[in-house]
């Protein structure tokens, strides 16, 4: 299957540089912004060098309201320490969705937001990668969040399935996992979903999803799959055990289960 491309794009608009703005005039839109980390802000305040505050990024909306796009923690530090104003790069005429896109562009190469914050902001921005992923989750009656029976915490892993193989493959992945192991916290483990997604992304046209779920569910419950994958990927601590390695290990184990009982010429791993 062809890899689907997802990019961050923003239309041309007017930008002013070096604008000094009183702190009390600045606002926050939580849907287009990361979550404030109060301990981080207080730590910054305790070690503040005012001359090093730099320039924040602000969106001035058509009604004149000024919303922080990037620099929320520095703004909060100013409130804590009594600094009256900040220097800003001001973008004009953006709506909330475009502000979210600008936030992601500004933070792509710097201190990144948490995966869940990026996901939330990506949805606000209306970016296809996040929108397609959210649609797949909703179609399976799931949400992104701390991992639970009805929530998936493996944000980066789930987004990667969508990015590499598309929304349909993610939705198939979620269904196969649930049919195999039920709707449990362990079912939505990132390396398990990643392995199933890789398998369906590479061999989906050859696979009956019902049979796949039956095969992997019959072998072991989800928690045991996870333990086996972790042990094999790390090989007792002698191999690299990063996420990519664990997903690849899961994929290999799924191939093995799928090929059991099949003629050699029909095996995926042959």
pTM exceeds 0.75, yes or no: no
Quick one: CA torsion of 207, 219, 261, 247, rounded to 10 degrees?
50
Task: Decide which of 32 and 241 is more confident.
Answer: 32
Residue 25 in this model has a pLDDT that exceeds 90 = yes
> In terms of domains, do 190 and 221 share one?
yes
- Domain residues for 205? 127-266
Nearest CA-CA partner of 71 in 47, 93, 52? 52
The yes-or-no verdict on residue 125 having pLDDT over 60 is: yes
As a whole number of angstroms, the distance between CA 245 and CA 262 comes to 27
Residues 57, 155 within the same domain: no
- Let me know if residue 9 belongs to a domain: no
Residue 3 lies in a domain: no
pLDDT at res. 70:
92
Condensed to tens digits (0 to 9), the pLDDT of residues 162-198 reads 999 999 999 999 999 999 999 999 999 999 999 999 9
- Res 235: pLDDT: 65
Same structural domain, 193 and 151: yes
164: Cβ contacts below 8 Å, ≥ 6 apart = 3, 4, 197, 198, 201
Q: Is residue 10 part of a domain?
A: no
CB 88 within 8 A of CB 56: yes
Find the mean pLDDT for residues 239-256: 81
Which of 67, 96, 120 marks a domain boundary?
120
| pLDDT beyond 90 at 129 | yes
- The pLDDT, as a whole number, for residue 239 is 46
């Amino acid at each position: 299957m062809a890899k689907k491309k997802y990019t961050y794009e923003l239309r041309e608009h007017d930008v002013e540089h070096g604008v000094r703005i009183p702190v009390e005039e600045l606002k926050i839109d939580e849907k287009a912004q990361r979550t404030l980390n109060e301990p981080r802000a207080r730590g910054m305040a305790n070690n503040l060098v005012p001359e090093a505050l730099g320039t924040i990024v602000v969106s001035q909306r058509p009604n004149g309201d000024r919303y922080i796009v990037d620099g929320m923690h520095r703004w909060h530090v100013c409130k804590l320490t009594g600094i009256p104003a900040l220097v800003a790069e001001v973008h004009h005429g953006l709506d909330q969705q475009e502000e979210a896109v600008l936030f992601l562009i500004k933070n792509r190469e710097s201190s990144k937001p948490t995966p869940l914050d990026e996901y939330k902001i990506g949805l606000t921005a209306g970016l296809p990668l996040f929108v397609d992923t959210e649609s797949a989750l909703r179609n399976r009656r799931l949400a992104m969040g701390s991992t639970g029976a009805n929530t998936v915490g493996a944000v980066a892993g789930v987004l990667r399935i969508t990015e590499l193989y598309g929304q349909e493959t993610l939705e198939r992945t979620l269904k196969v996992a649930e049919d195999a192991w039920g709707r449990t916290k362990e079912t939505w483990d990132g390396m398990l979903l990643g392995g199933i997604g890789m398998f369906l992304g590479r061999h989906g046209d050859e696979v009956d999803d019902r049979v796949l779920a039956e095969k992997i569910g019959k072998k072991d419950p989800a928690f045991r799959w996870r333990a086996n994958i972790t042990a094999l990927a790390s090989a007792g601590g002698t191999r690299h055990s990063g996420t990519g390695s664990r997903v690849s290990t899961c994929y290999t184990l799924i191939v093995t289960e799928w090929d059991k009982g099949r003629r050699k010429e029909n095996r995926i791993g042959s």
